[in-house]
């Protein structure tokens, strides 16, 4: 069946015309209407997934995909890798759903998976940055073309500087500066202490200052 | 007075409260103020970077890809997920090999370690051809019943033939004592009239 439903057919009782069969469409648990889960909170969605209703995972993905994509993009520096890493994050989350204890928010747990995936991937090669002109949503109607070019060049320099930071410093900076996570949440994600997170954040800013200060 | 630590600088950067004495130090210390200003400028500049918004179609596409991958996974994530075919097939194969080896080696060990009576007795006291275990006797009786009426030509026509070198290989698998006994039996057969 194209909709994934199971069909069960059997002839009617004696007396009914023989050519008739009763067809009962049994909904496939995988094709349950996603809307039924949208009102549930994250913990309830996880419980539904573990109870054999993977459609609940669609809601989890829809709820967190933007944040996960953005954190992946901050690490990877380009759309293709960010897209792959986001997908990998959710698939890893699905596989490890039983390991989610609910001590922290699901978003924190997903961030942890995403950061690990990013550090594994990005750590093995030089991070790329998108070419100039990808900041499509910056309001530049009042700036001159030369100012715009300078701003974009500076943005590329800042991206490159962030990409050059050591992994822990970069992770602390990204999670704190762009995702507004608390030091405690970042510590949970990185598996370190609040003090270490603060130190990494401080050194990330100090290193950025040093790198950008040496830019022409 | 001591300058601000990196922890305190981060706290101040994030508008967290410092105690009165530390705040008083910042107000009077140009170096600390310069440091905090520099950090603030770097952070503000970094925060202007935005992630380019992907195509509006991307989000549904991402969800679709994840859904497809999840459907391809087992019905529900299981703690025994690691026990999938790439794991259990080799394990099952290994178990099969061990069972096969055990079935070949165990009877041989049983024969060598069993009572010498009434089988053939070797110089070191080991017995060969001793059908002592009742199971072995039954098995041989069954095999004998099955193959007894079949002559060599019939067996060959039925496909029960050995490959080239199979006999050599079988002999090589025998222990030195077994090979010695085999030679003795063959010589005995050859000495018989018509042998």
Asked whether residue A151 is domain-assigned, the answer is: yes
Q: Are A5 and A33 in contact (CB under 8 A)?
A: no
The answer to whether residues A118 and A201 belong to one domain is: no
pLDDT average, residue stretch A26-49: 76
Q: Are residues A102 and A30 in the same domain?
A: yes
Interface contact A179, partner B, CB < 8 A = no
Do A121 and A188 fall within a single domain?
no
Identify which of A62, A95, A208 has the shortest CB distance to residue B73.
A95
- Most confident range (mean pLDDT) of A55-69, A202-216, B144-158 is A55-69
> Does a structural domain hold residue A216?
yes
Judge if A93 and A196 occupy the same domain: no
Task: Give the structural domain span for A150.
Answer: 146-216
Asked whether residue A162 falls in the same domain as residue A101, the answer is: no
Please give the ipTM for the structure prediction. Answer: 0.73
* Model pTM score: 0.60
Contact residues, chain A, for B43 at CB < 8 Å: 177, 205
Tell me if A135 is assigned to some domain: no
Distance CA A179, CA A102 (A): 21
User: Is the CB of residue A135 less than 8 Å from the CB of residue A118?
Assistant: no
Do A33 and A70 have their domain in common?
yes
Q: Is the pLDDT of residue B81 over 70?
A: no
Spatial separation of the C-alpha atoms in residues A74 and A94, rounded to whole Å: 23
Q: What is the model's pLDDT at position B128?
A: 47
Q: Does B62 contact A74 at a Cβ distance shorter than 8 Å?
A: no
Q: What percent of chain B has pLDDT over 70?
A: 56
CATH number, domain with residue A93: 1.10.1740.10
**Within a domain: A137:** no
Asked if residue A75 is part of any domain, the answer here is yes
Q: What is the DSSP string of B103-155?
A: HHHHHHHHHHHS--SSSEE-TTS-EES---SHHHHHHHHHHHHHHTT--HHHH
A26 bridge partner residues: A6
| pLDDT at A111 exceeding the cut of 90 | yes
Q: Do A50 and A107 reside in the same domain of the chain?
A: yes
One domain, residues A61 and A168: no
Residues A83, B62: C-beta atoms closer than 8 Å:
yes
- Number of domains chain A contains: 2
CA distance B26 to chain A (A): 17
CA distance A122 to B160: 61
Residue A140: inside a domain? no
Chain B environment of A66 (Cβ under 8 Å): 59
Tell me if chain B has a CB within 8 Å of the CB of A1: no
With a cut of 60, say whether residue A10 has pLDDT above it.
Answer: no
CATH of the domain at A170: 1.10.10.10
Same domain, residue pair A122 and A155: no
- Nearest chain B alpha carbon to A201: B10
A48 in any annotated domain: yes
């Amino acid at each position: 069946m194209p909709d994934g439903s199971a069909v069960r057919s059997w002839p009617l009782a004696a007396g009914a015309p023989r050519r008739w069969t009763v067809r009962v469409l049994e909904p496939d648990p995988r094709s349950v209407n996603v809307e039924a889960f949208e009102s549930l909170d994250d913990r309830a969605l996880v419980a539904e997934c573990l109870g054999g209703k993977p459609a609940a995972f669609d809601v989890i993905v829809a709820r967190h995909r933007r944040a996960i994509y953005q954190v992946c993009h901050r690490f990877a520096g380009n759309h293709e890798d960010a897209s792959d890493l986001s997908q990998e994050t959710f698939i890893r989350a699905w596989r490890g759903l039983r390991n989610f204890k609910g001590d922290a928010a699901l978003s924190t747990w997903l961030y942890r998976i995403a950061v690990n995936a990013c550090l594994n991937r990005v750590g093995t090669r030089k991070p790329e940055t998108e070419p100039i002109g990808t900041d499509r949503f910056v309001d530049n109607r009042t700036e001159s073309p030369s100012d715009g070019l300078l701003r974009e060049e500076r943005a590329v320099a800042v991206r490159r500087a962030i990409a050059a930071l050591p992994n822990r410093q970069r992770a602390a900076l990204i999670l704190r500066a762009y995702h507004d996570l608390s030091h405690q949440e970042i510590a949970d994600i990185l598996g370190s202490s609040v003090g270490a997170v603060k130190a990494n954040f401080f050194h990330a800013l100090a290193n950025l200052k040093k790198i950008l200060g040496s830019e022409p | 007075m001591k300058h601000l630590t990196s922890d305190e600088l981060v706290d101040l950067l994030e508008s967290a409260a410092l105690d009165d004495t530390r705040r008083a130090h910042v107000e009077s210390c140009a170096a600390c103020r310069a440091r905090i200003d520099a950090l603030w400028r770097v952070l503000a500049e970094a925060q202007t970077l935005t992630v380019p918004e992907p195509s509006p179609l991307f989000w549904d596409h991402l969800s679709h890809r994840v859904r497809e991958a999840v459907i391809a996974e087992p019905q529900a994530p299981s703690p025994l997920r690691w026990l999938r075919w790439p794991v259990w097939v080799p394990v099952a194969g290994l178990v099969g090999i061990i069972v096969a080896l055990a079935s070949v080696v165990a009877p041989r060990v049983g024969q060598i370690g069993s009572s010498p009576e009434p089988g053939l007795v070797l110089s070191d006291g080991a017995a060969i051809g001793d059908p002592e275990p009742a199971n072995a006797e039954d098995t041989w009786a069954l095999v004998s019943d099955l193959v007894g009426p079949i002559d060599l030509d019939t067996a060959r026509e039925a496909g029960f033939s050995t490959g080239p070198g199979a006999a050599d290989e079988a002999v090589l698998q025998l222990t030195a004592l077994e090979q010695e006994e085999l030679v003795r039996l063959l010589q005995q057969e050859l000495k018989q009239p018509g042998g």
